[in-house]
């Protein structure tokens, strides 16, 4: 049985995360965070839980660690952690430590033998930033002595000395890459029988090597979870980004909750996928939003960090909240490293907190109303991986493209890996398999059975043909053309669709949904091969798009491609019990709680015209009107829109409820009782 995790309680909903990544030269840490200074700042923001600076990627502690291999800044004067503990205790707030795990530069300097070794035998540098690829020895080997000699002893020290309530381990999954140290090489051969670990990502043994790394990382996290839980039950542990969208598969590692810090800019887009996946993990979860952003990438001196407008944070929070997640905000006051928080920013965060807390009653503890399940197969990821990094090295672009294109067509979408989908397949009226040909055999068999029993399935990609077969898809095997753009009719026109592989099939038992052309002309240069087909199998239907359509959408987001996908989806799925007609910018989340139907509407607009050098969201304009039709056997008692001020009208006749909402500003929830 998979561990279901643990959290402090339902009212701990909105958090503050503060970290500085202390370095060797830091002397003033904690000199300005006495009770007198810190308590009023926390009262200004009113978080429900707090995470504070402890040990960052440079590896230096902001407390006086006595563990033998610890690195304490030599000129450190004050114990910041003690003061954060006193202030949070006084306010009744749980306190977590921000602690960098795999990424520890100071430990690497003291103990080069603890470091991850690169394929040429040198010690590996940082996972990102200036020292990426440099021989600076910043990443610890998950099998090495670091865990037992430094990390676990420091976690125990923090529990015993400060009575901390939890750990948010940073620099972990996303800092881990294959290690070529003697121990890792030996274990790999012992486990797999492969004589030597591969060096190139294109090597056929690469997935085995990457998965070996993943399993080592998982047992490293399991060990520190077990050590903490054993030492003091009730202290919570999280490993940043573990078990999130970029790490699909059964969440076996016994962390207590799932969390990740979202990208500092354009964060809403990723959260649309993240929230739909995290809500299927069966554990408490949150997403951390950065309170600041910059243009032109991270760390460029000519593009300094700046505070996000409140509306930007509110918009980012909405998608997380609507799927039942908690929210925390990452604050880092830049050059102010003495422990002071910035009053005007704390005040702004209070506005964001009020927005978040207002939504708790309608959002927390809700469940999805299944419409479309997008398959995010862990087997596909693990069988086809061509990257190094455990988080960034995977290819999930087609899954994102499927989520985004279906959302723009106003479907309710959940993202499930095989572990989550297999037991719940029959709950979903429709399943989309976006270019996931390396899914497990069990999944492929289950999907065929699902269609025979009446399910609607959309599959894409040239390669999936070999997994599902000619008879099931109702088309010929055809031939493959590589790196081609063909023209696909959509709406009133036609759109170019590039695919690394196009399968040119001919329909046998399947019907053609759209044809395929070699030019933009709609009535000439038409090929005898379809862009999409639909085949009846048993009581259900399967649609086939024989190209990388969802990868294309993730990359290009063309409105005509969205229209093409919308047509294929509508033909395959037919009408669903809840239908939403809204502007493209409005995302829908369909949830249920205490027998209420809740339709969340999230407006993704910005009032600032988009430019390539500007990711800011502010002055969000209203979007609407929105019409919802809901099939239900009886007239509801009430239909309300409790969060914003849009005008709501509804009527019920012949089993159909029609709700019209005049507009949504950032996030409204239509609650039907």
| Contact residues: Zn ion, CB under 5 A | 141, 179, 181, 184
Rounded least distance, CB 178 to Zn ion, Å? 9
d(CA 57, CA 353): 29
Four-residue CA torsion sign, 141, 144, 150, 152: positive
Q: Minimum distance between the CB of residue 179 and Zn ion, rounded to whole angstroms? A: 3
> Which residue lies nearer to Zn ion by CB, 174 or 502?
174
Nearer CB in complex with Zn ion: 152/184: 184
Could you tell me the smallest distance in angstroms from the CB atom of residue 351 to Zn ion? 47
Residue closer to Zn ion (CB basis): 176 or 270: 176
Nearer to Zn ion, 187 or 201 (CB): 187
Q: Which helix (H) or strand (E) holds 545?
A: strand 540-545
Contacts of 493 (CB under 8 A, 6+ apart): 520, 522, 560
Q: Answer whether 162's CB lies under 8 Å from 148's CB.
A: no
CA gap 476, 459 in Å, rounded? 15
Least separation in angstroms between residue 140's CB and Zn ion is: 9
End-to-end CA distance of the chain: 35
Whichever of 141 and 321 has its CB closer to Zn ion, that residue is 141
Smallest separation (angstroms) from Zn ion to the CB of 363: 43
Of the two residues 22 and 141, which places its CB atom closer to Zn ion in the complex?
Answer: 141
Residue 68 C-beta: closest distance to Zn ion, Å: 21
Angle at which helices 549-556 and 397-408 cross, to 10°: 80
**Cβ distance to Zn ion smaller for residue 179 or 589:** 179
Which burial class, exposed, middle or buried, applies to 127 when counting CB atoms under 10 A from its CB (0-12, 13-18, 19+)? buried
**Angstrom distance (rounded) from CA 641 to CA 660:** 11
Q: Mind giving me the DSSP string for 630-673?
A: EE-SS--S-EE--SS---EEEEEETTEEEEEE--BSSEEEEEE-
Q: How far is the CB of 639 from Zn ion (least distance, A)?
A: 59
Nearest to 407 by CA among 374, 377, 375: 374
Closer CB to Zn ion, 184 or 221, in the complex = 184
Nearer to Zn ion, 20 or 181 (CB): 181
Query: HSE-up of 231 (CA within 13 Å, CB side)?
Result: 23
Both tokens assigned to 667? 């996030």
CB of 268 to Zn ion, least distance (A): 38
| Contact (Cβ atoms closer than 8 angstroms) between residue 324 and residue 366 | yes
Cβ 608 to Zn ion shortest distance, Å: 47
């Amino acid at each position: 049985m998979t561990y279901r995790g643990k959290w402090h309680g339902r009212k701990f909903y909105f958090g503050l995360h503060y970290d500085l990544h202390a370095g060797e030269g830091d002397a003033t840490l904690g000199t300005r965070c006495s009770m007198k200074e810190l308590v009023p700042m926390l009262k200004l923001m009113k978080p429900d839980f707090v995470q504070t600076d402890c040990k960052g990627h440079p590896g230096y502690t902001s407390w006086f660690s006595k563990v033998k291999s610890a690195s304490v800044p030599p000129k450190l004067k004050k114990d910041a952690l003690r003061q954060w503990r006193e202030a949070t205790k006084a306010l009744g707030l749980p306190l977590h430590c921000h602690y960098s795990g795999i990424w520890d530069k100071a430990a690497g300097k003291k103990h080069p033998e603890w470091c991850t070794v690169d394929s040429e035998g040198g010690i590996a540098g940082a996972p990102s930033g200036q020292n990426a690829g440099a021989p600076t020895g910043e990443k610890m080997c998950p099998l090495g002595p670091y865990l037992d000699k430094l990390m676990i002893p420091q976690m125990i020290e923090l529990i015993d000395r400060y009575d901390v309530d939890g750990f948010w381990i940073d620099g972990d999954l996303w800092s881990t890459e294959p290690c070529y140290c003697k121990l890792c090489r030996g274990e790999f051969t012992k486990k797999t029988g492969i004589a030597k670990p591969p060096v190139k990502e294109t090597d056929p043994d690469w997935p085995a090597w990457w998965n070996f790394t993943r399993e080592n990382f998982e047992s490293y996290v399991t060990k520190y979870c077990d050590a903490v839980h054993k030492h003091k039950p009730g202290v919570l542990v999280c490993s940043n980004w573990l078990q999130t969208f970029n790490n699909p598969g059964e969440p076996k590692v016994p962390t207590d909750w799932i969390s990740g810090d979202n990208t500092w800019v354009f964060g809403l887009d990723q959260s649309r996928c993240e929230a739909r996946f995290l809500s299927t993990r069966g554990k408490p979860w949150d997403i951390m939003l950065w309170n600041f952003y910059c243009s032109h990438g991270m760390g460029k001196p000519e593009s300094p960090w700046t505070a996000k407008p409140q509306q930007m944070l509110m918009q980012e929070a909405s998608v997380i909240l609507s799927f039942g997640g908690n929210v925390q905000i990452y604050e880092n006051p830049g050059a102010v490293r003495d422990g002071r928080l910035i009053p005007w920013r704390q005040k702004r965060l209070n506005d964001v907190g009020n927005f978040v807390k207002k939504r708790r009653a309608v959002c927390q503890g809700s469940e999805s109303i299944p419409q479309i399940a997008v398959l995010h197969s862990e087997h596909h990821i693990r069988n086809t991986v061509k990257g190094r990094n455990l988080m960034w090295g995977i290819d999930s672009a087609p899954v994102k493209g499927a989520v985004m294109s279906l959302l723009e067509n106003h479907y309710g979408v959940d993202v499930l890996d095989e572990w989550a989908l297999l037991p719940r397949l029959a709950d979903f009226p429709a399943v989309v398999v976006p270019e996931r040909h390396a899914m497990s055999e069990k999944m492929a068999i289950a999907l065929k059975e699902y269609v025979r029993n009446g399910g609607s399935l959309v599959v894409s990609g040239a390669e999936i043909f070999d997994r599902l077969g000619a008879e099931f898809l109702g088309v010929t095997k055809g031939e493959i053309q590589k790196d081609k753009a063909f023209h696909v009719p959509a709406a009133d026109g036609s759109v170019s669709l590039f695919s690394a592989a196009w399968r040119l099939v001919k329909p046998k038992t399947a019907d053609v949904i759209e044809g395929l052309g070699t030019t933009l002309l709609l009535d000439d240069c038409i090929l005898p091969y379809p862009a999409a087909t639909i085949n009846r199998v048993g009581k259900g239907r399967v649609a086939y798009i024989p190209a990388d359509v969802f990868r294309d959408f993730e990359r290009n987001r063309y409105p005509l491609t969205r229209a093409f996908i919308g047509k294929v989806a509508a033909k395959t799925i037919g009408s669903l019990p809840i239908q939403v007609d809204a502007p493209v910018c409005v995302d829908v989340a369909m949830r249920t709680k205490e027998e209420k139907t809740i339709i969340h509407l999230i407006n993704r607009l910005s009032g600032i015209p988009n430019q390539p050098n500007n990711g800011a969201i502010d002055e969000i304009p209203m979007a609407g009107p929105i019409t919802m039709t809901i099939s239900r056997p009886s007239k509801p008692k009430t239909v309300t829109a409790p969060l914003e001020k849009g005008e709501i009208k509804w009527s019920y006749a012949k089993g159909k409820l029609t709700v019209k909402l005049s507009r949504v500003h950032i996030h409204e929830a239509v609650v039907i009782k």
